[in-house]
């Protein structure tokens, strides 16, 4: 479902939220370790927390993509429809983490890809969602 630029539409607001799929290694090379990103977390009914992930394609049998964004609103827009439909999810949150913490999540959960969520708007890149 990717368009010509390798981006996938993820939301239906005035500005389209797009998800750019990157291999974990590409993401690490393109971003400084000190940069922060928003990452979603879900809480199962048994109180276990885990990162919000999606499948990189409809053909994938498992969730292999961690969604991250420098803008809180973009990730929130992407997560809400999933959280509302998943009856096994008790709670959710979006947390600001450093790139090195993302690397730890990738290793701990065997995640292959990063879904970089963006809206095409201007962002300062600070991770605070100020723009």
Predicted pLDDT at 1: 37
Average pLDDT, the chain: 82
| Mean of pLDDT values over 12-24 | 73
pLDDT over 90, % of the chain: 62
For the stretch 52-96, pLDDT in tens is 999 999 998 899 999 999 999 999 999 999 999 999 999 999 999
Q: What is the pTM of this model?
A: 0.78
The secondary structure element, H or E, covering residue 91 is: strand 89-98
């Amino acid at each position: 479902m990717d368009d010509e630029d390798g981006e996938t539409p993820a939301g239906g607001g005035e500005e389209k939220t797009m998800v750019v799929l990157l291999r974990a290694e590409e993401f690490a090379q393109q971003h400084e370790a000190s940069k922060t990103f928003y990452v979603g977390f879900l809480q199962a009914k048994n109180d276990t927390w885990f990162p919000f992930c999606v499948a990189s394609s409809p053909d994938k049998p498992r969730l292999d993509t961690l969604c991250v964004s420098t803008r809180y609103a973009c990730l929130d827009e992407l997560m809400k429809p999933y959280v509302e439909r998943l009856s096994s999810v008790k709670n959710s949150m979006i947390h600001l983490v450093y790139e090195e913490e993302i690397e730890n999540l990738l290793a701990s959960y065997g995640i292959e890809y990063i879904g970089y969520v963006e809206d095409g708007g201007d962002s300062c890149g600070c991770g605070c969602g100020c723009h």
